[in-house]
Structure 1
């Protein structure tokens, strides 16, 4: 009829209807998935609240303690505890460091081979590894993490606002460790460091690789303001540590690079790191556990950070037996351990025998549920150290 406008029965979708198109193209989540996502969001929010509350409690405790100290109200036990804390802080954070001019690389190229819990365990071990080097009086001059990708990177990015990018003296590569020698014929060993820059592993003011760009790949800045070049090494100075090789490590040498396999695999992948070293034609060696701890009845399975701490202890003492005894958990010397699922807990191993972890526990024997809290606490310590 004249005077009436024709109405299109199928008008085009408005811009605001794009979400409906997207929703149709993506299959709906199941109830189980929705509950899982909702629980994860709730836990993340609750964790933030817990951290904020704990920070406030710590500040209040410090304020009250300072007031009591000023008023002379501390009893003898409290004064003794304070002196011990100050002494421990001075021992770990103060004093000249004597760096060992070698490099340790953690190869993180196994992300797709691990479960979610194993990735969680691994990221905790990386934090302990960095912390051990930072506190050591004889730190390794270079600490490099390679092939950072996938869930490992996502988890590291999500902890403490990507606190790992602020780890002093640590390099993070998305590329593999092959970059150490690729395209370089004249480059040598670990770049020497002087006494001032030696504090990379501890209290120096170095800017960390990735801090400026927010991503792994940017090179580190030193305290002196010089731009630090990416690590390089001759291929014949690189050693992959794996328990599956016949060659035993007798000593650590300055100028060499030692690779640790960054994987928690419950012994699913046999000879993984050993085969990788053979394919790339680089040397392999194992820790001399069998030589110095022949009485240990269980399998020689260690976490990434435990392996690293053994290397650190050797640098300080030049004594393998002392270094191994200081780090290997005492329960590994027991013939009968706690049992889970009908197996001795020490029967869970990973590929290279130097880095592993029992199901459901972190390296200190605590439940996995506590691992994330401890990693976050470390991130807070790093942030406090920068202030």
Structure 2
């Protein structure tokens, strides 16, 4: 009887359908992706709490924007009709003075713009979890804010693989950041491979490509069709260099004749050699930042966020000193040998806040960046309307 049961079970097992094999996600880089980790209940609660708080902040920001514009309209009407009080006239005068100062500061920094170019490769949407996509949006916002306020900003920052088709989740989350208003920032639907091909074709034609004049920002968000066949925003004669922590070559300086690519991915180190493998597959030269040559006591793996890499490049352009650039950007927690050292330093500086406190501070900083960026854009828009 036991034999018959065993035979039946073996027969049923042999007829059972096999489990489906899932295909690897993401770009073809020769690196097998690992399954995304499942969030714990505590992490899910934190994520839901942050989402609710963010939704509330967006609603408040929209109401405040409407209130500010209505207030500005009332002040202008009062000025025309001669009914402004002394306090209201003072508010209007300060607002105009601030606009003049901003315009003067912008004109003064134009001559300090570095004519080189940076590319941010966003072709990793499918390899990131939703929370990592949100972090990527934050990092891109920091990149824009850093370039806008830099002593020597980069003239051209090109984001590749950006469209509803190539990076759907990132496209949706970037809407609130008003990316289409970002100055000196360009967006392509095509990937780094398309960029490399386009540059090669232009070089073969021996065509000198001039940087296009970017039109004034509009209220309408560009569609994916607007990004599908754009002009090359820098000369095709330049050489692409993909920045990778796994590269053998060390970057010694920044050249206007080179275009530096930063991999736009947040993966908590799940995918090893991802950018290096992608660049090698496309035949693009790779190089790493010279962190080890200038900072000896950095025990952690030398992998930084997109905005940290970008800010290091900005600091180097301004200071011409790699060591000073690294020390100005790399957070102090990277220098600790253990979690205990990191926790002790964090408690000493901020009290018993822990990781949640750190996340809260980062969220507040991002809100400040977003608020400043939106205020700047509104002031620019209003100045344009007033002539």
TM value normalised by structure 2: 0.64
Where do 1:188-267 residues align within 5 Å?
A: 206-207=215-216, 214-216=222-224, 218=226, 229-231=231-233, 234=236, 237-267=239-269
SS of aligned partner of 2:193: helix
- Contact 1:102–1:142 under 8 Å retained in 2: yes
Note the C-alpha offset of 1:380.
4.4
Residues of 2 paired with 1:323 and 1:39: CA distance?
A: 36
- Contact 1:113–1:265 under 8 Å retained in 2: yes
Instruction: Report Cα offsets for 1:292-334 as digits up to 9, x if no partner.
Output: 0112233323211110011111111211111111111123223
Note the C-alpha offset of 1:279.
0.5
Match of 1:16 in 2: none
Cα distance change, pair 360–315 in 1 and its aligned pair in 2 (3 A): same
Match of 1:151 in 2: 169
Residues of 2 paired with 1:40 and 1:271: CA distance?
A: 31
Instruction: Report Cα offsets for 1:231-258 as digits up to 9, x if no partner.
Output: 3665870000010011100011012111
Where do 1:304-315 residues align within 5 Å?
A: 304-315=306-317
Given the alignment, which residue of 137, 156, 172 partners 1:123?
Answer: 137
- Contact 2:242–2:285 under 8 Å retained in 1: yes
Residues of 1 paired with 2:153 and 2:361: CA distance?
A: 29
Cα distance change, pair 142–101 in 1 and its aligned pair in 2 (3 A): same
Instruction: Report Cα offsets for 1:128-185 as digits up to 9, x if no partner.
Output: 101111222322221100111210011112x15xx10111221111110222232513
- Contact 1:92–1:137 under 8 Å retained in 2: no
Given the alignment, which residue of 91, 103, 114 partners 1:100?
Answer: 114
Instruction: Report Cα offsets for 1:98-142 as digits up to 9, x if no partner.
Output: 222221011011111111111001101101101111222322221
Residues of 1 paired with 2:341 and 2:159: CA distance?
A: 34
- Contact 2:157–2:186 under 8 Å retained in 1: yes
- 1:51 equivalent to 2:61? Answer yes
Higher helix share: 2
Residues of 2 paired with 1:266 and 1:188: CA distance?
A: 42
Residues of 1 paired with 2:314 and 2:58: CA distance?
A: 34
**Structure 2 runs not aligned, ≥5 long:** 1-47, 76-85, 347-353, 383-387
SS of aligned partner of 2:226: coil
Residues of 2 paired with 1:88 and 1:365: CA distance?
A: 34
Match of 1:9 in 2: none
Residues of 1 paired with 2:336 and 2:101: CA distance?
A: 31
Match of 2:87 in 1: 67
- Work out the number of aligned pairs and report it: 309
Given the alignment, which residue of 264, 270, 273 partners 1:271?
Answer: 273
Residues of 1 paired with 2:241 and 2:136: CA distance?
A: 21
SS of aligned partner of 1:182: helix
Match of 2:349 in 1: none
Given the alignment, which residue of 361, 378, 381 partners 1:383?
Answer: 378
Residues of 2 paired with 1:190 and 1:244: CA distance?
A: 34
SS of aligned partner of 1:218: helix
**Structure 1 runs not aligned, ≥5 long:** 1-37, 72-78, 220-227, 346-358
- Contact 1:121–1:368 under 8 Å retained in 2: no
Q: CA RMSD in A?
A: 4.6
- Contact 2:125–2:170 under 8 Å retained in 1: yes
Match of 2:190 in 1: 175
Cα distance change, pair 70–386 in 1 and its aligned pair in 2 (3 A): closer
- Contact 2:141–2:370 under 8 Å retained in 1: no
